[in-house]
A and B are shown apart, each in its own frame.
Chain A
Amino acid sequence: MFLRFLLRRLLYVIPMMLITSFVVFSFILLIPGDPALTILGENATEERLRFVREQLGLDKPIPVQYFHWLTNALQGDLGRSIFTGELVHETVFSRLTVTFQLVVSAMIFATIGGMFFAIASVYFQNSWIDYFARFLGVIGSAIPNFWLAMLLVLLFSLNLHWLPATGFTSITKDPVQFLRGIILPSIALGAVGMAQITRHLRSSLLETMNSEYVRTAYSKGVDKWRAVMRHGLRNAMLPVVTTIGILFGNLLGSTVVIETIFGIAGMGQLAVNSILQRDFTMLQGVILVMVVLVIVINFITDVVYAILDPRIEYD
């Protein structure tokens, strides 16, 4: 049963990958006029124009272009950067390790923070911490993340001098420096997620706390803490799994602004620079890798959900 479910989900993922890859590929098709000329500008040499046309495969019909691009991409070859001539897949994957550390840190911040505020606000319902958690849930999803990042830099770097405003050290190189550098970006990136998790977990916890089995547990003499943590949280976490899964894609996308502000040389910054330099092969590579990651994470979320929820029907 479970295997069939897995197979069905996989069969769903493959056409999705094909379609998203075509969307990413088609950014080139959207460029008005002669893309090579648009990318390089009026003063480009004939040689450069030929290089770009060749890299983009512009001399062939569109389905052939796409087929070539896709088959190469499947073999891990994403072409060469129009701007620097570097191999796209090498640059993207070296940047991926940086972005991965940032996004995972932000996810940890969002999940722990969200769970803390949700549990506290249900346990101490209608107390100041409950109101504070609800306030965070509302503000967190409305605050522009790049603005929050700047306010954090203003307070913790420029005024208090506690944490650096820019720079990133890999965790494998120096864990202490990594922590110092990652705190502010993780908060700025994860704030939206924390707000979402707080809101969703809070309402789903409140719902389970009113359910019959929790009330039965109460009447059997279970204390409040145990009722929330053992009986409530287990069931309330289920819908939050999906929230966390969806969050990953949002955070990955938001790295474009957060990495720009904190000067972190990850995929987000690479995407922005590629756009500013009109480096379309690089941009396609970055976005493709990000999208594949999102689809894979969504797939994993679905599977985890199915494992956690005994009620789910596999068909």
Chain B
Amino acid sequence: MTRSFKMLTFQAASIAAAGLLMSTVSVMTKAAPAPAPAAVQIGNFTFKNPVVTIKPGTTVTWTNGDDIPHTVVSKDGVFKSKVLDTGDRFSFTFAKAGQFGYFCSLHPHMTGTIVVKA
């Protein structure tokens, strides 16, 4: 058990190291382009595109188009906006892959998910 865990840890470390090397190389060869930003509009008390799939490193910007304030709050505490009044924006950059559910803490029936896939 301990041994296999160590093996796994070693493998993970190797992969991570290789990944770091590769990314370092790619940075040296060409400026790594950040993925195109993504946007989520808030309107009519909904996140208008409730499921958005992006690549790691993508910045997502939420814009409140309602006359009523909203918030953007991760279900798992990963991110949390201040209150967004009409026209206010909140941005968050998703570095890691995963599914990130979120909601409006004022109107919790408003929910959305950001899916981050490599």
Asked if chains A and B come from one complex, the reply is no
Query: Hey, which bits of chain B sit against chain A, CB under 8 A?
Result: none
